[in-house]
Amino acid sequence: MEHTQTAVLAAADSLVDAFSRHDREKYFAAFSKDATFIFHNLDRPLRNRAAYEAEWATWEERDGFKVLSCRSSDRNLQLLGPVAIFTHSVETEAEFGGEAVTSQERETIVFEKQPDGGWLAVHEHLSRVLRNESPCIQRDQGLDKNIRDVLSVKLRSRRRPSRSRTRRQRPMRWPGRPSSRKNAAPNALHSSPGFSA
């Protein structure tokens, strides 16, 4: 068990390290060819490694994307036979069009043991960290983003003192999705790699 844990964590560290150095070749080699990816900054899932490589190339050519650094923390590993689930928080500094941007994200990477004994990532899921969340909402990562937004609004409204008991209450405004600029650069994934780390 301890040997397996060490091997999986080594695979995760190698993947994150390659991402943090923008080592494209080594980074993508950490994923199986049929690996799938779900990133919060994309409007669709990526069904294989080739699709992610194409998206990465677009970020580089269109947005001047380059990873400057990536820090992994709050790590956890679950071993399920030939499958391992690695989760962590990632702080990524990346460059877009010459401007450095820092992102805070959470990431899940699923590894599968290979016939040669090595471990490859077969799935990666990257989620953004919402700011000004209630701690109880931050802990419940299974909640849908829109539900978390609504709950955050409700919690903030409860903390506001009433100006007048006789004043008519206004209906709660449902939070909308943040506007996106055309061709806006994606938030850094790793995050850990992965944009995905």
**Band of the pLDDT at 186, cuts 50, 70, 90?**
very low
Does the residue 35 lie in any domain?
A: yes
Residue 69 sits in a domain of what CATH number?
Answer: 3.10.450.50
Percent of the chain that is helix, strand, coil (3-state, to 5): 30, 35, 35
Model-level pTM? 0.68
User: Residue 77 has what pLDDT?
Assistant: 98
Domain of 124 in residue numbering reads as 2-130
pLDDT band of 2, cuts 50, 70, 90: confident
Tens digit of pLDDT for each residue in 45-54?
999 999 999 9
- 138 domain residue, yes or no: no
| Number of domains, the chain | 1
Share of the chain above pLDDT 90, in %: 64
Inside any domain, residue 77: yes
Q: Is the pLDDT of residue 118 over 70?
A: yes
Chain-centre distance for alpha carbon 141: 12
Would 139 be classed as within a structural domain? no
On whether residue 190 sits in a domain, the answer given is no
Please tell me the predicted confidence (pLDDT) of residue 177. 37
User: Comparing 194 with 89, which gets the higher pLDDT?
Assistant: 89
54 falls within a domain: yes
Does 2 or 129 have the greater pLDDT score? 129
**Residue indicated by tokens 């007048």:** 164
Instruction: Decide if 112 is inside a domain.
Output: yes
- Is 95 among the domain residues? yes
Quick: pLDDT tens for 158-176: 455 545 444 444 443 333 3
By CB atoms closer than 10 A (0-12, 13-18, 19+), residue 84 is buried
